[in-house]
Protein backbone atom coordinates (compact mmCIF):
# COMPACT_ATOMS: atom_id res chain seq x y z
CA UNK A 1 0.00 0.00 0.00
CA UNK A 2 1.51 3.27 -1.00
CA UNK A 3 0.52 6.72 0.04
CA UNK A 4 1.43 9.39 -2.43
CA UNK A 5 2.16 12.78 -1.04
CA UNK A 6 0.81 15.75 -2.93
CA UNK A 7 4.25 16.57 -4.25
CA UNK A 8 5.00 13.13 -5.67
CA UNK A 9 1.55 13.05 -7.20
CA UNK A 10 2.18 16.42 -8.87
CA UNK A 11 5.60 15.33 -10.04
CA UNK A 12 4.19 12.15 -11.53
CA UNK A 13 1.43 14.03 -13.29
CA UNK A 14 3.88 16.57 -14.67
CA UNK A 15 6.22 14.07 -16.22
CA UNK A 16 4.31 13.42 -19.41
CA UNK A 17 3.47 17.09 -20.13
CA UNK A 18 7.03 18.21 -19.45
CA UNK A 19 8.43 15.44 -21.63
CA UNK A 20 6.10 16.36 -24.48
CA UNK A 21 6.94 20.04 -24.04
CA UNK A 22 10.63 19.26 -24.10
CA UNK A 23 10.17 17.26 -27.31
CA UNK A 24 8.35 20.20 -28.90
CA UNK A 25 11.16 22.58 -27.95
CA UNK A 26 13.79 20.15 -29.17
CA UNK A 27 12.01 19.54 -32.46
CA UNK A 28 11.78 23.25 -33.20
CA UNK A 29 15.41 23.80 -32.31
CA UNK A 30 16.75 20.87 -34.27
CA UNK A 31 14.65 21.63 -37.32
CA UNK A 32 15.64 25.28 -37.17
CA UNK A 33 19.31 24.44 -36.91
CA UNK A 34 19.55 21.57 -39.35
CA UNK A 35 17.38 22.62 -42.26
CA UNK A 36 18.63 25.09 -44.81
CA UNK A 37 17.01 28.49 -44.16
CA UNK A 38 14.86 29.23 -47.14
CA UNK A 39 14.61 32.99 -46.88
CA UNK A 40 11.00 32.66 -48.01
CA UNK A 41 9.08 35.79 -47.31
CA UNK A 42 5.34 35.29 -47.11
CA UNK A 43 4.07 38.79 -46.89
CA UNK A 44 0.83 39.89 -45.26
CA UNK A 45 -1.07 42.54 -47.14
CA UNK A 46 -0.82 46.01 -45.68
CA UNK A 47 2.69 45.75 -44.30
CA UNK A 48 5.78 47.18 -45.95
CA UNK A 49 7.76 43.98 -45.60
CA UNK A 50 7.61 40.57 -43.91
CA UNK A 51 9.70 41.74 -40.98
CA UNK A 52 7.13 44.44 -40.27
CA UNK A 53 4.32 41.89 -40.50
CA UNK A 54 6.05 39.62 -38.01
CA UNK A 55 6.87 42.52 -35.72
CA UNK A 56 3.25 43.59 -35.48
CA UNK A 57 1.96 40.03 -35.10
CA UNK A 58 4.48 39.55 -32.30
CA UNK A 59 3.40 42.82 -30.71
CA UNK A 60 -0.22 41.66 -30.90
CA UNK A 61 0.77 38.42 -29.18
CA UNK A 62 2.58 40.36 -26.47
CA UNK A 63 -0.43 42.62 -26.00
CA UNK A 64 -2.74 39.66 -25.48
CA UNK A 65 -0.15 38.07 -23.22
CA UNK A 66 -0.41 41.10 -20.96
CA UNK A 67 -4.19 40.62 -20.93
CA UNK A 68 -3.38 37.03 -19.97
CA UNK A 69 -1.27 38.15 -17.05
CA UNK A 70 -3.87 40.59 -15.78
CA UNK A 71 -6.76 38.15 -16.13
CA UNK A 72 -4.73 35.47 -14.37
CA UNK A 73 -3.94 37.84 -11.51
CA UNK A 74 -7.63 38.66 -11.34
CA UNK A 75 -8.66 35.00 -11.33
CA UNK A 76 -6.30 34.30 -8.46
CA UNK A 77 -7.68 37.20 -6.48
CA UNK A 78 -4.60 39.39 -6.69
CA UNK A 79 -6.25 42.43 -8.22
CA UNK A 80 -9.12 42.81 -5.79
CA UNK A 81 -11.53 42.52 -8.69
CA UNK A 82 -12.66 39.21 -10.09
CA UNK A 83 -15.50 39.38 -12.58
CA UNK A 84 -17.15 36.16 -13.65
CA UNK A 85 -15.88 36.52 -17.19
CA UNK A 86 -12.18 36.74 -16.36
CA UNK A 87 -11.73 33.03 -17.07
CA UNK A 88 -13.24 33.40 -20.51
CA UNK A 89 -11.12 36.49 -21.14
CA UNK A 90 -8.02 34.60 -20.05
CA UNK A 91 -8.67 31.64 -22.29
CA UNK A 92 -9.53 33.69 -25.36
CA UNK A 93 -6.72 36.20 -24.98
CA UNK A 94 -4.41 33.20 -24.67
CA UNK A 95 -5.76 31.58 -27.81
CA UNK A 96 -5.40 34.80 -29.77
CA UNK A 97 -1.86 35.38 -28.51
CA UNK A 98 -0.96 31.82 -29.51
CA UNK A 99 -2.61 32.21 -32.90
CA UNK A 100 -0.54 35.35 -33.56
CA UNK A 101 2.65 33.70 -32.34
CA UNK A 102 2.42 30.64 -34.60
CA UNK A 103 2.86 32.40 -37.99
CA UNK A 104 5.74 34.42 -36.59
CA UNK A 105 7.39 31.21 -35.40
CA UNK A 106 6.86 29.41 -38.70
CA UNK A 107 8.51 32.24 -40.63
CA UNK A 108 11.37 32.55 -38.16
CA UNK A 109 12.13 28.84 -38.07
CA UNK A 110 11.64 28.17 -41.76
CA UNK A 111 13.14 31.28 -43.31
CA UNK A 112 15.82 32.21 -40.80
CA UNK A 113 16.51 29.12 -38.76
CA UNK A 114 18.13 28.74 -35.36
CA UNK A 115 20.84 31.40 -35.37
CA UNK A 116 23.81 31.89 -33.14
CA UNK A 117 25.79 34.68 -34.79
CA UNK A 118 24.80 37.23 -32.19
CA UNK A 119 23.73 37.04 -28.52
CA UNK A 120 20.36 38.54 -29.34
CA UNK A 121 19.53 35.95 -32.01
CA UNK A 122 20.84 33.13 -29.84
CA UNK A 123 18.64 34.18 -26.93
CA UNK A 124 15.72 34.62 -29.31
CA UNK A 125 16.26 31.21 -30.89
CA UNK A 126 16.47 29.51 -27.50
CA UNK A 127 13.46 31.35 -26.08
CA UNK A 128 11.46 30.59 -29.19
CA UNK A 129 11.94 26.85 -28.80
CA UNK A 130 11.38 26.98 -25.04
CA UNK A 131 8.27 29.14 -25.37
CA UNK A 132 6.42 26.65 -27.53
CA UNK A 133 7.56 23.79 -25.33
CA UNK A 134 6.39 25.58 -22.19
CA UNK A 135 3.12 26.61 -23.81
CA UNK A 136 2.55 22.95 -24.65
CA UNK A 137 3.17 22.08 -21.01
CA UNK A 138 0.73 24.78 -19.91
CA UNK A 139 -2.00 23.40 -22.17
CA UNK A 140 -1.42 19.80 -21.14
CA UNK A 141 -1.30 20.67 -17.46
CA UNK A 142 -4.73 22.25 -17.74
CA UNK A 143 -6.20 18.85 -18.57
CA UNK A 144 -5.06 17.40 -15.28
CA UNK A 145 -6.68 17.56 -11.90
CA UNK A 146 -5.09 17.36 -8.49
CA UNK A 147 -1.93 19.28 -9.25
CA UNK A 148 -0.26 21.35 -6.56
CA UNK A 149 -1.36 24.97 -6.44
CA UNK A 150 1.92 26.42 -7.69
CA UNK A 151 1.94 24.62 -11.03
CA UNK A 152 -0.39 26.84 -13.08
CA UNK A 153 1.07 30.17 -11.90
CA UNK A 154 4.64 28.97 -12.41
CA UNK A 155 4.07 27.54 -15.88
CA UNK A 156 1.88 30.48 -16.86
CA UNK A 157 4.47 32.89 -15.55
CA UNK A 158 7.20 31.16 -17.54
CA UNK A 159 5.14 31.30 -20.72
CA UNK A 160 4.50 35.01 -20.21
CA UNK A 161 8.12 35.81 -19.42
CA UNK A 162 9.40 33.93 -22.44
CA UNK A 163 6.98 35.63 -24.82
CA UNK A 164 8.00 39.05 -23.56
CA UNK A 165 11.63 38.01 -23.84
CA UNK A 166 10.99 36.99 -27.43
CA UNK A 167 9.40 40.36 -28.16
CA UNK A 168 12.30 42.22 -26.56
CA UNK A 169 14.85 40.36 -28.70
CA UNK A 170 13.08 40.99 -31.97
CA UNK A 171 10.16 43.41 -32.31
CA UNK A 172 11.68 45.94 -29.94
CA UNK A 173 14.89 46.00 -31.97
CA UNK A 174 12.88 46.41 -35.16
CA UNK A 175 11.00 49.39 -33.72
CA UNK A 176 14.20 50.89 -32.36
CA UNK A 177 15.83 50.66 -35.75
CA UNK A 178 12.90 51.56 -37.95
CA UNK A 179 10.66 53.54 -35.68
CA UNK A 180 7.07 52.54 -35.06
CA UNK A 181 6.30 51.86 -38.70
CA UNK A 182 4.17 49.51 -40.69
Contacts of 26 (CB under 8 A, 6+ apart): 129, 133
3-state secondary structure of 35: coil
Which residue's CB is nearer to another protein, number 10 or number 170?
A: 170
- The interface region with another protein, picked from 6-14, 76-84, 98-106, 153-161 by CB under 8 A, is 98-106
DSSP line for 108-176:
IIIII-S--SSHHHHHHHHHHHHHHHHHHHHHHHTT-SS--TTHHHHHHHHHHHHHHHHHHTTHHHHHH
Contacts of 117 (CB under 8 A, 6+ apart): none
**DSSP, res 52:** H
Residue 126's φ and ψ, nearest 5 degrees, are -65, -50
Rounded to a whole number of angstroms, the CA Rg of the chain reads: 18
- The interface region with another protein, picked from 32-40, 57-65, 68-76, 149-157 by CB under 8 A, is 32-40
Total interface residues for another protein by CB under 8 A: 38
Which residue's CB is nearer to another protein, number 8 or number 181?
A: 181
Using CB under 8 A, which of 38, 85, 150, 180 touches another protein?
38
Binding flag, residue 176, another protein (CB under 8 A): yes
Binding flag, residue 84, another protein (CB under 8 A): no
Binding flag, residue 112, another protein (CB under 8 A): yes
Binding flag, residue 140, another protein (CB under 8 A): yes
Residues interacting with another protein, by CB under 8 A?
36-43, 49-51, 87, 91, 94-95, 98-99, 102-103, 105-107, 110-112, 115, 117-118, 136, 138-140, 142-143, 173, 176-178
Amino acid sequence: MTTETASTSTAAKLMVPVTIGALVALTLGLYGKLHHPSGIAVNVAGFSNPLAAKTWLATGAAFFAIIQLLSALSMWGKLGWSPSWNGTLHRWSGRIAFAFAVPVMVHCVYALGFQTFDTRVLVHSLLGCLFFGTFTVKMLVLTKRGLAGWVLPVVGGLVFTMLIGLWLTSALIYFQTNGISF
